[in-house]
Amino acid sequence: MKYKNIYAFLILTFFYSIVSAEIEEMTPERVLELWKIEDNRSVIPDGFNSWVLAKEYRSSYTQISPKGEKKVFPNVKASEKIVLGKFLIFRVYPPAPIDIYGVTWFESDTKVYRKAVLFTGKDGTEAEGYIKMNHLIGLQYPNTDIYAWTQIDPNDSNERSLSMERRNKTKATWKELVYSEHGKLIQSIIGEAIPIK
């Protein structure tokens, strides 16, 4: 029995080190480095064949407070690239003093999606120097266009998020719930992205 426990511990430790290495690899520097690589759509990465894949999107989203107060962002530009035959990388240009970059990839062996989202303050604004990064893990519900995501590390503000997405050849829609570290709802976000280019 003692040896089985040790064996189980070693396997879990090994698994955790692999998962941790995967997460640590996608640093803010790595995300920005990937964004600088030229878009190459000659190879569609595994896991993205049924997604709309465009170079540019018109996005809109609504932030909803726990009291039901809404803040609407109707026309937000987003750009997308496919790089290195593996990564789907995007940039969102919100009407705020921050830029948003994200990288999504699919692990064929485990059938798991991973996403890293980077928030950076724009130079010359009150947010200059601000950096926040979220890592998420996602799964596709079998035989559907529905994906579920959960944040796997708390960010500096100790927020955590859960989201559902629908992704098909025409558009992407999502609903995200953002919670405090104590499980209190901070806000929900509903949005969609429609390809324009």
Per-residue pLDDT for 9 more than 70?
Answer: no
pLDDT (average), residues 79-94: 94
Instruction: Give the span between the Cα atoms of 86 and 136, in whole angstroms.
Output: 17
pLDDT (average), residues 136-163: 87
Per-residue pLDDT for 1 more than 70?
Answer: no
Residues with Cβ within 8 Å of residue 121, at least 6 apart in sequence: 97, 98, 127, 128, 129, 130, 131
Q: Rg (Cα) of the chain, in Å, rounded?
A: 18
Burial 101-138 (b: 16+ CB within 10 A, else e): bbbbbbeeeeebbbbbbbbbbeeeeebeeeebbbbbbb
Compute how many other C-beta atoms are within 10 angstroms of the C-beta atom of residue 45. 19
The pTM of this model reads 0.81
Per-residue pLDDT for 142 more than 80?
Answer: yes
Per-residue pLDDT for 95 more than 50?
Answer: yes
Q: Which fold has domain 2-195?
A: Lipocalin (2.40.128)
Instruction: Give the span between the Cα atoms of 106 and 138, in whole angstroms.
Output: 9
User: Using CA atoms in the order 60, 113, 131, 18, what is the torsion angle rounded to 10 degrees?
Assistant: 180
DSSP 156-168: TT--EEEEEEEE-
Q: What is the mean pLDDT of the chain?
A: 86
Please choose, from the candidates 48, 40, 46, 39, the residue with its C-alpha nearest in 3D space to the C-alpha of residue 167.
48
- Widest CA span of the chain, in angstroms? 62
Q: Which residue has the higher pLDDT, 197 or 56?
A: 56
Residue 159: the pLDDT is 81
Q: Which of 7-16, 81-90, 119-128, 176-185 is predicted least confidently?
A: 7-16
The answer to whether the CB of 137 falls within 8 A of the CB of 150 is: yes
> pLDDT for 61-80, tens place per residue?
999 999 999 999 999 999 99
Residue 24: the pLDDT is 42
